[in-house]
Amino acid sequence: MAQHFLKSAASRSLSLASVLQMSETEAETLFKQVRWPETNGEPVCPSCGSLKIYDCRRGNGAPRWRCAQKECKAEFSITSGTLFAFHKMPLRMYLAAVAVFCNEVKGKSMLALSRDLGTQYKTAFVLAHKMREAMAHDMGATIGGEGKTAEIDGGYFGGYVKPENRREDRKDRRLYENRSGKRQCVVVIRERGGRTLPGVFANEAAALNFIRSRVVTGTTLHADEAGAWNDLHARYVMERINHQEAYSANGACTNVAESFFSRMRRGEIGHHHHVAGPYLIRFAQEAAWREDHRRLANGEQIKAVTQLAMKAPPSTEFRGYWQRAEKRQ
């Protein structure tokens, strides 16, 4: 039997130990090369694109530069204008955080991340969500195309209602009026041999416009027997599988979409415990990215997430929060 990819030496191309052995200068060089690959790591002014800049690092502090253009004079650091803007920890620690995050294949508990890095929970929380935001920037706009096959499926998350202790006090939690209203549906579109694209909706029927706008016409869509998908027959060639009868029949199955939910559900049960509310989409995007890059060596994954974070604009969700959390320490 062929060896599983994750057991092979090829899957381990960068260890946490080697990241932690890096000097801060080595980490800076690596971040500079990731941020400015076109100049081989030479800083470029983020405001005007000028290469004429001078060093204005203060003492032994983090590297800073100022643009030499008279009308610009922008001052910036390695992370200015990126997801890791206003970084407070040494850059090596960000690389370590990305390494720890990537090495867990189903997801990383944010409490465990705070213990690994020796930071407050809030710091680990924001950092983990920024890494998820970086992964989200890697999601394609559309899925499929002429001759391609994609699968769609939905899964429900959040809104758990704890049953009463005594049997006579318990309510039928299947009934709409006894639900919390916080339950949300993650709908995933996954191309066979291609990319994964999740979205969050109230239910499967609410996802139809998302599917229509993201799945290119000409794609063959596989879906289960849920009635919500019936309206899609007007636009796509559909293959339906009735899961009451079989998981796969006559070539129709949604097993690839189910693999995504398997990973996401294991992350929920084993690491996050509670994936719900406004952050549900981020957890779904994280699971999708992990699923799509599961056969990439860990060093490549770490580099890819760092690159995405350095290319992404500052977080819209966690601006300011990060600095406040760090300053209180």
Binding site for Zn ion (CB under 5 A): 45, 47-48, 50, 67, 69, 72, 74
Helix (H) and strand (E) counts in the chain:
10, 10
Instruction: Compute how many other C-beta atoms are within 10 angstroms of the C-beta atom of residue 230.
Output: 14
Smallest separation, CB 51 to Zn ion (Å): 10
Smallest separation, CB 74 to Zn ion (Å): 5
Output 48 or 249, the one with its CB closest to Zn ion. Answer: 48
Output 13 or 50, the one with its CB closest to Zn ion. Answer: 50
Smallest separation, CB 54 to Zn ion (Å): 11
Smallest separation, CB 43 to Zn ion (Å): 11
Output 53 or 208, the one with its CB closest to Zn ion. Answer: 53
**How many residues are present in the chain?**
329
Output 66 or 265, the one with its CB closest to Zn ion. Answer: 66
Alpha carbons 64 and 43: distance in angstroms, whole number = 10
CB of 60 closer than 8 Å to CB of 51:
no
Alpha carbons 306 and 84: distance in angstroms, whole number = 9
Smallest separation, CB 48 to Zn ion (Å): 3
Distance of CA 312 to the CA centre of its chain: 13
Q: Which two tokens stand for residue 54?
A: 């001078």
Output 69 or 259, the one with its CB closest to Zn ion. Answer: 69
Instruction: Compute how many other C-beta atoms are within 10 angstroms of the C-beta atom of residue 28.
Output: 19
The conformation of residue 47, written as its DSSP 8-state character, comes to: T
